[in-house]
Amino acid sequence: MSEPQDVLVRREQAGGVATITLDSPHNRNALSSRLLRQLDDALSWALDDPAVRVIVLTGTGPVFCAGADLKEQRGGGAPVTASFPDIMSRIWESPKPVVCRLNGTARAGGLGLVAACDFAVAPATASFAFTEVRLGVVPAMIAVTCLRRLEPRAAAEYFLTGEVFGAARAVEIGLLTRAVPADDLDATVAHYTGMLLRGGPEALAITKRLVREVPLLPVEEGFRAMAALSAERFTSEEGQEGIRAFAEKRPAAWVPSESTAGDAGR
């Protein structure tokens, strides 16, 4: 049977957390057309399943993602990564929080996935680089997510030079949320997913939008819009359930029973 070799993206769900794993270590989880199709399918599964509250994106082997599969890019035809912008957009716009658990190094297009996620945690030994200009191409598609995360001077530095930089620097410039010792990687990811599971699903989806959109509003317009939204959420079914749960010192109805969130956030 050839099926195991054909599976480049694995998926599993437990306790409200869906884990999507890039499983193509033979080519460093490069963004081949098959991997992208399977990643798109896995995202659809996680986004459509009401039991899934949080999504974790990770990989196998020493590299999280090496970027485009260059073997498929030879010949000058249309890029086989044409579906990649849609995938990054789905992660960016996902109403469910997405945590990137980098199993190792990332390069080029792989950094577009990292930047699209809400949280990104990597081993302190991981390295990163926007290598496109050294191949005579440009970091065009991933600029949409990466330039929304990176400090402008750092973006210019690393986009233009292709220089390799470490995990501590990646945190400093906004690409990563945390860089931790490899032995602490799973515990750190579990810390974030556990806290996210305690948030109301509607509240989390709305708050994701707030983080992106409110800074773009004029101040007075922002206050008016947010006052109305705040009143709406306090009177919503989800808001009222959260208030009751707080008063009764119990988990809210949306917290999965298998959650290991414990008393985080209380």
Catalytic residues: 132
Q: Which residues contact 19 (CB under 8 A, 6 or more apart)?
A: 11, 12, 13, 55, 56, 58
Q: Are 146 and 111 in contact (CB under 8 A)?
A: yes
Q: What are phi and psi of 13, to 5 degrees?
A: -140, 135
Alpha-carbon span 142 to 130, nearest angstrom: 10
C-alpha of 58 from chain center: 9
Which residue reads 């501590």 in tokens?
168
Alpha-carbon span 101 to 114, nearest angstrom: 9
The 3-state DSSP composition of the chain as helix, strand, coil percent (nearest 5) reads 50, 15, 35
Which residue reads 């359930």 in tokens?
241
Q: Are 116 and 145 in contact (CB under 8 A)?
A: yes
DSSP one-letter code for 258: T
Alpha-carbon span 237 to 230, nearest angstrom: 13
